[in-house]
Amino acid sequence: MGYNFFNIKEVSPAFNRKLKDFKESVGPAIREGKDITFADNDITYALKLQNERLKEKGLELDYNIYSRDNQNDKFISGSSWKDAHYQSTVCFNNSYGIKRKVKKDGKWRYSDNRKSVLYETITDVVTGAHPDNDPFCCPNCGTASTVAGLQNGCAYCGTKFQMDDLFPKVSAYYFLEDAGMTKGEFWGGYFICFVITLIAMYIFACYLNPAVFLPKNLAGNTTNLIGIAIGFPIGCFILGYVLYAYYLIIRLIVKAILSAGKMGTAGSRRKFEARMRKFSPEFSYEYFTSKAISLIKTAVFSKDETELLFYTGQPMNPKMKDIIDLNYGGALGCKRFKDEGNFVTVQTKAYFDVLYAQGSRIYSRSEVFSATFKRRTDIPVKLNFSMTRIACPTCGSSYDATKNKICPYCENKYEITTDDWALVEFKKM
């Protein structure tokens, strides 16, 4: 496993194409319930649940991820980690924006537009590795199979796939608000500030010396007209730039103050990896964060979280069922660890940007949740594991375990903590 923020580079054209395709497919998946065949099954399932939540509430969510800078369409690769068969890499692009509009009863009730950095985790097969017997859902019909089985042909729909049809795939994604600007956004903002400064300075000049600057006194005075036409724009060009710079500085300070609570999570990476790597070198903070986001989203958007295989806690607050969009807020702090034999429990402080729908009222709010996770430490991490395609350890049968906690073939209960994290508690702080 290698983590290095400074060893970053552009991703390959094949990866970049898949990352962009995923970005363009998120909106239709949320709005229309469409599958993203090159996405992780857990992502697909969570998006399906979100679409069902919107339908239940009679809402239409127009979710559009757009490019803020057409010159910058390349993703950058950052940290990566791997196991025996797979390697996952966090990739990001800081030139996107998200427009959301919510319609209820034929009327648009809510809209926003956020400049964002898009983070996507892409998982690929390690060169030379052959995970032939790993369970995998057919991208065409969703039937549980194996990697080798799909390459030979799906037993149900007959579709055959090459390895590059199945991998790489997107296994996690989230957005963070971007405090930076593209060149177009900077100069567009500056132009507005320049015009406002020009108008304000002229009004101020008219107040100080109306005999010279009022329009009725300028008529026929060519010298004053030329002086104003040249001097005011030059002066306001400089003054407007200074005022715009002060505005940007104040905006950054305000954002920093509003995000001050997240600073307490700064040491979580070091704390988590120092604790977990003694059990297995595959434990990664990025992997844990990706899993945490996926489990939380699925639990929140499910009709009954207690039916989920990975959720072992009490029923959540009914207000969670009013959530129609949930985005990771960029901070997941590890509050405390607890070791019990071969199990570890991690209590986290999770920040999310939440979109609620209560009747006709639609509103956005930044929330902090307490999320507690548990898993075994004596079994290596499986980066390609998914609850939607489980292989029963008792009889070897594959089945969709999103709702079935018991194998439908041998009727033995599947213990999720053997292969992955379980969400044992989730509540608002």
Q: To 10 degrees, what angle do helices 222-258 and 183-208 make?
A: 130
What pLDDT, on a 0 to 100 scale, did the predictor assign at position 95? 86
Return the closest-CA partner of residue 75 out of 110, 117, 132.
117
What tokens does 327 get?
Answer: 């985005």
What tokens does 325 get?
Answer: 């969009």
Tokens 């399932």 sit on residue: 45
Contact by Cβ (8 Å): 159, 138? yes
Give the Å distances, CA to CA, from 416 to 73, 129, 299, 374, 422.
39, 25, 15, 10, 7
Q: Coil, strand or helix: which one is 205?
A: helix
CA angle 100, 291, 405 (to 5 degrees): 105
Tokens 């966090």 sit on residue: 90
Return the closest-CA partner of residue 190 out of 134, 237, 120.
237
Tokens 């400064």 sit on residue: 197
Peptide bond between residue 168 and the one before it cis (omega within 30 degrees of 0):
yes
The whole-model pTM stands at 0.79
What pLDDT, on a 0 to 100 scale, did the predictor assign at position 258? 59
Q: To 10 degrees, what angle do helices 285-301 and 41-56 make?
A: 30
User: What pairs with residue 404 in β-bridges?
Assistant: none
What is the residue-wise DSSP string for 65-114? EEES-TT----EEEEEEE-SSEEEEEEEEEEEEEEEEEEETTEEEEEEEE
Find the length of the chain: 429
Side-chain-facing half-sphere of 198: CA atoms under 13 Å: 14
- Backbone conformation region of residue 130, classed left if phi is above 0, alpha if psi is from -120 to 50, else beta: beta
What is the residue-wise DSSP string for 402-427? TT-SB-TTT-PBP-GGGTS-EEEEEE
Contact by Cβ (8 Å): 252, 179? yes
How far apart, in whole angstroms, are the C-alpha atoms of residue 95 and residue 117? 6
What pLDDT, on a 0 to 100 scale, did the predictor assign at position 255? 66
Cα-Cα-Cα-Cα torsion 344, 350, 18, 76, nearest 10 degrees, comes to: -100
Burial 257-280 (b: 16+ CB within 10 A, else e): eebeebeebeebbebbbebbeebe
Per-residue pLDDT 10s for the chain (429 aa) are 334 444 568 888 888 999 999 999 999 999 999 888 788 888 988 999 999 999 999 999 999 999 888 777 889 988 888 777 888 888 999 889 899 999 998 899 999 998 888 999 998 888 777 778 777 778 777 777 778 888 888 888 888 887 777 888 898 898 888 767 777 778 888 888 888 888 888 788 777 777 666 666 666 566 666 767 777 788 888 888 888 888 778 877 776 665 555 555 556 677 777 777 766 666 678 888 888 998 999 999 999 998 888 888 899 999 999 999 999 887 888 888 888 888 889 899 899 999 999 988 999 999 999 999 998 888 777 777 777 767 777 777 777 777 677 787 888 887 777 778 889 999 998
Tokens 């040491």 sit on residue: 267
How far apart, in whole angstroms, are the C-alpha atoms of residue 423 and residue 288? 12
If one counts every other C-beta atom within 10 angstroms of the C-beta of residue 375, the result is 24
Contact by Cβ (8 Å): 49, 35? no
Query: Residue ranges of the domains in the chain?
Result: 9-178+261-428, 183-258
Query: According to DSSP H, which parts of 142-182 are helical?
Result: 147-152, 163-166
Contact by Cβ (8 Å): 188, 60? no
Q: Coil, strand or helix: which one is 339?
A: strand
Q: What is the largest CA-CA distance in the chain?
A: 98
Element holding 366 (H helix, E strand): strand 361-376
User: What pairs with residue 99 in β-bridges?
Assistant: 64, 113
Contact by Cβ (8 Å): 160, 152? yes
What pLDDT, on a 0 to 100 scale, did the predictor assign at position 412? 80
**Beta carbons within 8 Å of 14's beta carbon, 6+ residues apart:** 164, 168
